[in-house]
Amino acid sequence: MKLTIVGCAGSFPRADAACSAYLLEADGFRLLLDMGNGALGALQRHIGLFDLDALLVSHLHGDHCFDACTYVVARRYCQEAPLPTIPLYAPAGTLDRFSRAYEVQPGNAKLEDVYEERALAPGALDIGPFRLTVDRMNHPVETFGVRVEHDGSTLAYSADSGPTAALEGLARGVDVFLCEATFSDLQANPPDLHLTGGEAGRFATLAGVGQLLLTHLTTWSDPRLTHEAAAGAYDGPTRIVASGETYDI
């Protein structure tokens, strides 16, 4: 598998990064995990505008899904239209939510001309050449973390989550653990919302992962302190990702 960090900013885009969007490629198939605000422009640095084969949205906070609405305009009104629909794996009701955000007018299709919605639920599913396992995370809205397997290689993606045993289960023994680290370890944080660098490191240790990639840092995050906290809890390779980076898994 090839992983491209399309966007990695938490909560809103940074000057150097769009919000969450992670491109997985294998056997010529392209799966995008999340499509937060700013991601559509950044995605075009890596693949063609219409080259996506499937989209998975972990949850309906804007920094993980808003550009999936913008993408409707590109696919619906391009010179090549009509294009084939894209499978959209997301929490139940996502297409209705996107339709409201898009402000569909009476008489227009409710985005079914662009997306074919497939509701996520805990368990296993196949998307193209990938075998996925999804489970609910600890976040205020329904949120799914993801384990992806292909040809003996494994990746886990936390999405957004506070501490939860489900995250350890998804990440068990993976080659790469792409984990959010939004909060600081040096202050009291709201419960059941996000992880700190230290918590991400502890989950990486508990799950026995091969490499820890930290993501979803906000503008006011201190990357050095986040990395130090994670590395203090996990003795394997640890890195804070940056937009445009690629990883072979």
Q: Which residues contact 28 (CB under 8 A, 6 or more apart)?
A: none
Confidence (pLDDT) at 110 = 83
Q: Which pTM was predicted?
A: 0.97
pLDDT of residue 106 exceeding 70, the answer is no
pLDDT band at 107 (very low <50, low <70, confident <90, very high): low
- Where do we find the tokens 């079914």? 112
pLDDT of residue 108 exceeding 80, the answer is no
Mean pLDDT confidence for 14-41: 98
Average pLDDT, rounded, for the chain: 96
Confidence (pLDDT) at 103 = 80
Name the residue with higher pLDDT: 101 or 151: 151
Among candidate residues 100, 20, 109, the one with its CA nearest the CA of residue 57: 20
pLDDT of residue 109 exceeding 90, the answer is no
pLDDT of residue 139 exceeding 80, the answer is yes
Helix, strand, coil percentages (3-state) for the chain, rounded to 5, are 25, 30, 45
Confidence (pLDDT) at 13 = 96
Confidence (pLDDT) at 241 = 98
Give the pLDDT confidence of 163-198 residue by residue, as tens digits.
999 999 999 999 999 999 999 999 999 999 999 999
C-alpha 38/C-alpha 181 separation (Å) is 20
- Where do we find the tokens 């289960």? 169
Q: Give every strand in the sheet of 130-136, ordered side by side.
A: 123-127, 130-136, 144-150, 153-157, 176-180, 212-215, 238-240
Confidence (pLDDT) at 104 = 72
If phi > 0 it is left, if psi is from -120 to 50 it is alpha, else beta; for residue 126 that is beta
Give per-residue burial for 154-174: e unless 16+ CB within 10 Å, then b. Answer: bbbbbbbbbbbebbbebbeeb
Confidence (pLDDT) at 102 = 85
